[in-house]
Amino acid sequence: MGDLSPRKLDIIILGGGIAGLTTALALTKFAPRDAVPNIHIIEIRPEPATIGGAVNLTPNALRMLDHLGAYEVIKKNGYGKDIDELEVYDIYSTKLAVSSFKGAHGKGIGSPPFKALRITRGDALKAVLEIVERQKNITLTCGKKTVDIQETADKVTIEVEDGTTYTADILMGCDGIHSVTRLKHVDPERKETYTGVCNAFGFAPVGKDFPVHFDCTAINFARRGMLLTSYHNPAMDSVYVGALMEVSDIGSRDGWKAVGSDAEKTRAELLSRFGDANVPCINQLITKAEDFYLWPVYTLSKDGQWSTNRCMLLGDAAHAMPPQGESTGIVFEDTVIFARCLTKWMEKGMPGGTPKEAFTAYETLRKPRIATAFDESQSVIRTVSDAGWFGHKLKTYIVPWYLWYTRSYREKHFVEDVTTSELNYC
């Protein structure tokens, strides 16, 4: 009898950001032991970008990082700040609500229990990158811009700007909202759209005695936007200051970069929107914040093509949406569920000759969850859009009610462990 074990796949991942790196780890961890794929990550930047704002990793996101080995690195290096609860304020009056991650016994949510973690994108990426560098089957090549993608019945080939070509069995597009994989091959007509909202952020150095109105992290609603203020490291010597606010489209990526490079103009804009807060530290934190950045928030249409026979989009490349509190965790879950579907296909003997069966199984499992998250994200746009006195007052009544009404839904996802959940894979 011949060898029935699945052969090793060659996989190219476009994008060396958090989505691409975690995809590589998930494909490695969940592959059959005797068929761990050869994975080549190709990143357009000279090195993986470690700049960015601070994200909230919810319990399900931390659970995924724990499975992939990166959570241990986060704790070892002291990255991020544990969050017991997220506090919600009206900057003109009082605390509106809290969203707790403590669970029934105060230790977290799920099994094993996790709370939440506020961490910079750079530190999260460094933790994942450390685990990637330990894997002998993963190669990372930076500074390569993809200019062409060709797919045949048997292979997929990419060409980079210097003329070099790379060929594999599968191409994973983990290259973000402006995905080359999507725009050049999978779904060229599906273009990103500016939401009308941008994220302006910086980091304010603070002393131990600096007075703040929150325990760890707070969402502060105003009439002209929302301001997030949060510690993001155990030393609590720096506060992340990030504003979501309505801004007219500047018209081009170069235009956004030019405006975003003017930190003092961005600071003045934030002070004009939030400087009248009755919470004294808000004005001070905006004044103290250093190195402001301005990032436009783009989205993709709710429906669209995620795959061909040999190419698959993951993360923002497939379903970019405004931040809605679980965005990073959703990407981590994407990578794990996809890896498990691909492994199942491999264990079945790779029927059909292409991984399309695995792609279809993944999309069937994942698209309903993404559709729900997309709908939720639209409420973010509404709550951070400019409003008058009455509109803001209405918002302060709706937000606490909404958090209460959706609590059980959020906790359902916080306890999920997609590494063991039923795939219903036929």
Q: What is the mean pLDDT of residues 412-418?
A: 87
Q: What is the mean pLDDT of residues 383-393?
A: 83
- Pick from 186, 218, 216: which is nearest to 91 by CA? 218
Lookup: tokens for 271: 């002070």
Q: Is residue 293 scored above 90 in pLDDT?
A: no
Alpha carbons 248 and 413: distance in angstroms, whole number: 34
340 CB-near residues (< 8 Å, 6+ apart) = 30, 418, 419, 423
Residue 256 pLDDT: 53
Alpha carbons 58 and 118: distance in angstroms, whole number: 9
What is the per-residue pLDDT across 158-205, written as a single tens digit (0 to 9) for each? 999 999 999 999 999 999 999 999 999 999 999 999 988 888 999 999
Alpha carbons 38 and 136: distance in angstroms, whole number: 9
Residue 71 identity? Y
Residue 259 pLDDT: 58
Share above pLDDT 70 across residues of the chain, in percent, rounded to a whole number: 95
Burial of 194 (0-12, 13-18, 19+ CB in 10 A): middle
Q: Is residue 331 scored above 80 in pLDDT?
A: yes
What is the per-residue pLDDT across 253-270, written as a single tens digit (0 to 9) for each? 555 555 556 788 889 999
Question: What is the residue extent of each domain of the chain?
Answer: 10-192+300-415
DSSP letters along 203-236, please?
A: EEE--TT---SSSSEEEEEETTEEEEEEE-STT-
Alpha carbons 359 and 374: distance in angstroms, whole number: 21
**Which residue has better confidence, 399 or 135?**
135
Tokens 């155990």 belong to residue: 234
Residue 247 pLDDT: 85
Q: Is residue 78 scored above 60 in pLDDT?
A: yes
Plot region of 78 (φ>0 → left; ψ -120 to 50 → alpha; else → beta): left
Residue 41 pLDDT: 98
- Map residue 118 onto helix, strand or coil: strand
Q: Determine how many CB atoms are found less than 10 A away from the CB of residue 403.
A: 16
Alpha carbons 230 and 120: distance in angstroms, whole number: 11
Lookup: tokens for 94: 């009082």
User: Which of 253-257, 277-281, 333-337, 391-395 comes out lowest in average pLDDT?
Assistant: 253-257
Alpha carbons 17 and 45: distance in angstroms, whole number: 10
Alpha carbons 154 and 161: distance in angstroms, whole number: 24
Q: Is residue 153 scored above 60 in pLDDT?
A: yes
Q: In which order are the strands placed within the sheet that holds 54-57?
A: 54-57, 116-120, 81-83
200 CB-near residues (< 8 Å, 6+ apart) = 242, 243, 245, 260, 266, 269, 270, 292, 293, 294, 295
**What is the band of 326 on the pLDDT scale with cuts at 50, 70, 90?**
low
Q: How far is CA 220 from the centre of its chain?
A: 21
**Which residue has better confidence, 265 or 130?**
130
Residue 251 pLDDT: 65
CA dihedral 337, 369, 176, 221 (to 10 degrees): -130
Q: In which order are the strands placed within the sheet that holds 156-160?
A: 146-151, 156-160, 165-168
Residue 3 pLDDT: 53
Strands (E), 247-341: 290-299, 311-313
Q: Is residue 119 scored above 60 in pLDDT?
A: yes
User: Which of 109-118, 314-323, 358-367 comes out lowest in average pLDDT?
Assistant: 314-323
**What is the band of 390 on the pLDDT scale with cuts at 50, 70, 90?**
confident
**What is the band of 1 on the pLDDT scale with cuts at 50, 70, 90?**
very low
**Which residue has better confidence, 324 or 235?**
235
* Residue-averaged pLDDT of the chain: 90
Share above pLDDT 90 across residues of the chain, in percent, rounded to a whole number: 65
Q: Is residue 2 scored above 70 in pLDDT?
A: no
- Pick from 386, 175, 381, 180: which is nearest to 296 by CA? 381
* CATH value of 10-192+300-415 in 3.50.50.60, 3.50.30.30, 3.20.20.70, 3.30.565.10: 3.50.50.60
The answer, as to whether pTM is greater than 0.85, is: yes
Residue 131 pLDDT: 97
User: Which of 30-39, 143-152, 339-348, 391-400 comes out lowest in average pLDDT?
Assistant: 391-400
Q: What is the mean pLDDT of residues 61-85?
A: 95
